A and B are shown apart, each in its own frame.
Chain A
Amino acid sequence: MKVGIVGVGCSKFGARDCTLQELAFEAVSEALKDADLAQEDIDISVVGCVGTRSYELMPAVVVNEYCGFSGKGPLRVEAACATGSAAVYSAFSSIKAGIAEIAIAIGVEKMTEVDTATSAAIGGRAGNYLWEHHFYGTTFPAYYAMHATAHMAKFGTTEKQMALVAVKAHRNAAKNPKAHFQKEISVEEVLGSRVITYPLKLYDCSPISDGASAAILASEKAVKEHGMDAVWIESIGFSSDTSNMTMRESFVGLRASRLAAEMAYKGAKIIDPLNSLDFATVHDCFTIAEIMAYEDLGFCKKGKGGEFIEKGESDFGGKMPVNTFGGLKAKGHPLAATGIAMVYEIVKQLREEAGRLQVDLKHYRALSHNVGGTGHFAWVFIFGR
């Protein structure tokens, strides 16, 4: 029995002057309208929220009540920055198990209610507090910066190649009215921006954003009964890795991403992603993360991610257009909203509703790649229409 996405919604990302639940409802109401469904048609709601930076510490019921889903769940999920994908998986599983016919996955995050230094202290706890942040003041950018120095040393990846990822992201986000940053930037601006944690500079980093997204999933039976238009989930891959960075296999890639991709490709019978998929959304919380993702997802060989961006292979018209809506880097990265915002982008693209950002479709298949922490969690979904 197939499960499809029948409705999607996404709020504007950025510093938003509304409450968590109001933000969630922006995405939920858009998704309901998109699917032409009402709250009573939903069997269970899944609320994804990392919630460590906002005033509601147990937000699921608050969000559920405001969105009109009281009595339907909620199931709260958390998988750091991959929370959205874990929420979609939970909704998918409830349908696969036969418990629900129609389920909604909501991802919502308010990140701007605390100051930046506090946010850094919370993000630094995304690994292992006791052994890393407590002693050494690791921050989230610091973890990826360490990946960057390892990648630069082993493969000769340059700060300019990383800057090109940011330039592409901003160029796409400039045409996305929901993006946090809707302005183009130059390589020189990226390279000249202040150092956050060497070698990552301000424009190598995704912003601190508020945002919400929602996806409505339905069984094949419900899709037929309601006469809905579905983008099907063809396969799902997942993996995880150690909380301690010191215990990882290597620092030049994310093993969890590689294993999740292998599982997803196997499930969808994909041998050559470049000739099977039209585009991809990948987890570019930092520019080096996108370069490693090209490699870990098999778009190019390990160590060749810098060349992949330099040759424009991840741009429109390239071998694999990546992050056509601006990515986490420029669209924004409200943690739990990110994974479902990827689903939003994929559904809009596969329905050919992406306007000025529309990619050319040949296979009508796409991939989402959502990482939690620094490869602590990884989810890869293959969608088709």
Chain B
Amino acid sequence: MIIESRELRLRHRIPVNRIGKYWKGLEEGKVYKTVCRCGRSYYPPRAECVCGNQTDWVEITGKGIVECFTVVHSIPSCFEWSKPYRIVIARFGDVRVMGWCEDEVVVGDEVSIFTAMDGSGVWKVWFRRG
């Protein structure tokens, strides 16, 4: 015998004021990392370094190198609006970046970075081969 629990709806409101420049950047076609004068770089970016200093925002540009990837066919409930999608992690200098990529890639390929809105209206990082 099975009974159903009462429904619990969870949708969190996430304050991203300290790292808001990242979200604004995505809408302007820019992907930012943060760097500290102590020498550390952060991607994902953070407003303060573990050393305690405030960090500076630096745009990620140039070509990245694919380090790993996958194509998700078994899609989680919150992405059911999407067809199977390719997740890629690529290295850009001293940081690695995760993004979606519609081009077929293999490890070692060169990719360019850009931003675009996905099918659910969220701006994010994308890559294209070459």
Contacts and interface: CB of A to CB of B under 8 A. Distances in A.
Contacts of B106: 153
Given A150-B67, A197-B71, A251-B89, A139 B76 contact: yes
Nearest to A250: B67
A139 B70 CA distance: 10
Contacts of A58: none
A199 B116 CA distance: 27
B10 to A, nearest CB: 11
Interface in B87-121: 87, 89, 95-100, 106-108
A124 B76 contact: yes
Contacts of A131: 44, 98
Given A117-B75, A146-B70, A197-B72, A137 B85 contact: yes
A145 B82 contact: no
Given A146-B89, A194-B73, A196-B74, A153 B108 contact: yes
Q: Indicate the member of A137, A142, A196, A199 with the most B CB atoms within 10 Å.
A: A137
Contacts of A153: 68, 106-108
Interface in B1-37: 5, 14, 16
B89 A145 contact: no
Contacts of A197: 70-74
A141 interface: yes
Nearest to B1: A17
A128 B98 CA distance: 12
Given A136-B99, A137-B82, A146 B74 contact: no
Name, among A117, A118, A120, A136, the residue most crowded by chain B CB atoms within 10 Å (CB to CB). Answer: A136
Given A153-B108, A198-B73, A147 B44 contact: no
B128 to A, nearest CB: 16
Contacts of B73: 194-198
A57 B72 CA distance: 29
A263 interface: no
B43 interface: yes
A132 interface: yes
Contacts of B49: none
Contacts, number: 108
Contact of A121 (B78, B82, B107, B125): B78
B57 interface: no
B77 A121 contact: yes
Contact of B77 (A117, A136, A196): A117
Interface string A106-131: 00000001011110110110001011
Contacts of B78: 121, 137
B122 interface: yes
Contacts of A245: 89, 98
A139 B96 contact: no
14 contacts: A121-B79, A123-B76, A135-B122, A136-B85, A137-B72, A137-B76, A137-B78, A137-B79, A142-B72, A146-B87, A194-B73, A198-B70, A246-B98, A251-B89
Given A121-B76, A133-B76, 20 more contacts: A117-B77, A120-B75, A121-B77, A123-B76, A124-B76, A131-B98, A136-B124, A137-B85, A139-B72, A139-B75, A142-B70, A145-B70, A150-B67, A150-B107, A153-B106, A154-B107, A196-B73, A196-B74, A197-B71, A197-B73
Interface of B: 5, 14, 16, 43-44, 67-80, 82, 85, 87, 89, 95-100, 106-108, 122, 124-125
Interface of A: 55, 113, 115-118, 120-121, 123-124, 128, 130-139, 141-142, 145-150, 152-154, 194-200, 244-247, 251
